[in-house]
Amino acid sequence: MAEKTVQPFRETDEQKQALSQIIERNKVQPGALLPILHEAQEVYGYLPIEVQQRVADGLGISLSEVYGVATFYSRFSLTPKGKHRISVCLGTACYVKGADKILAEVEKKLGIKSGECTDDGLFSIDSCRCVGACGLAPVMMIDEEVYGKLTPAMVDKILDKYIKEEGESK
């Protein structure tokens, strides 16, 4: 079976404690799983297997049930998000202007797929549906910054800028 790439799980004592409290506080109400997952994702940024297992044990249900819910809703992420979150718009306008090629270029450059995070934790890629800047199509966002009228060649330069900044800050 093909294993998905999994980042090593790290947590602080505060996060661990917060998760226990979230489970305890919610577990009495029916349908507690969904709010618990929401809050857990706020604490950890994503829902790794370790967190889901603890939620399952806390609610007395199986991990596969938790995983089923976590993968049903697109709001939940199973992979950590990078320091810089790249969001490539695949809305109609961007798509007809070649957004798929932009996404492919980002994936190629970083060596990860949409929904994943680079090993060094610097970038994560996601796709989104319309950021309301159709006039600039194709568009991608990195954190809060919008980059428009993109070509694959521009993607390289933009990403290099972030990589360079990171190198200088070290």
Partner 1 sequence: METVHLKINNIPVEVPKGYTILQAAKQANIEIPTLCYLKDINCIGACRVCMVEAKMNGRPMRGLLAACVYPAEEGLEVFTNTPAVIKSRKTTLELLLANHNKKCLSCEKSTTCELQRLAREYGCDEEHFKSEEPRYEIDDVSPYIVRDNNKCIQCMRCVAVCKNVQTVSTIGAIQRGFNAHVGSAFDKSLADAPCVGCGQCVVNCPVGALKEKSQEDKVWDAIADPEKKVIFYTAPSIKATLGEAFNMPIGTNVEGKMAAAIRRLGEDVTIFNMDFTADLTIIEEANELVQRITTGGTLPMFTSCCPGWVKFLEHYYPEFTPNLSTCKSPQAMFGAVLKSYYAKKNNLDPENIFVVSVIPCTAKKFEVTRPQLRSEEAYDDVDVALTTRELARMIKRAGLDFTTLPEEDYDAPFNKATGGGAIFGATGGVLEAALRTAAHTLDGDFKKVDFEEVRGPEPIRTVTYEVAGVKITVAVASGLGNARKILEMIKAGELDCQMVEIMACPGGCINGGGQPIPTDYVLNNVDYKAIRSKALYDYDKNSELRSSHESPVIKMIYDEFLEEAGSHVSHKYLHTSYIERGHEYK
Q: Which residues bind partner 1 (CB under 8 A)?
A: 1-4, 49, 52-53, 61-68, 71-72, 78
Query: Cβ closer to partner 1: 67 or 95?
Result: 67
Phi, psi for residue 73 in degrees, rounded to 5: -95, 130
Minimum distance of partner 1 from residue 84's CB (angstroms)? 26
Query: Cβ closer to partner 1: 3 or 13?
Result: 3
**Separation of alpha carbons 148 and 128, rounded Å:** 14
Query: Cβ closer to partner 1: 4 or 164?
Result: 4
Closest CA to 83 of 45, 111, 47: 45
Closest CA to 106 of 139, 63, 72, 61: 139
Residues in the chain: 170
Query: Cβ closer to partner 1: 17 or 71?
Result: 71
Q: In terms of DSSP H, where are the helices of the chain?
A: 13-26, 33-44, 49-59, 63-72, 92-96, 99-110, 152-169
Minimum distance of partner 1 from residue 31's CB (angstroms)? 17
Minimum distance of partner 1 from residue 160's CB (angstroms)? 34
Minimum distance of partner 1 from residue 146's CB (angstroms)? 29
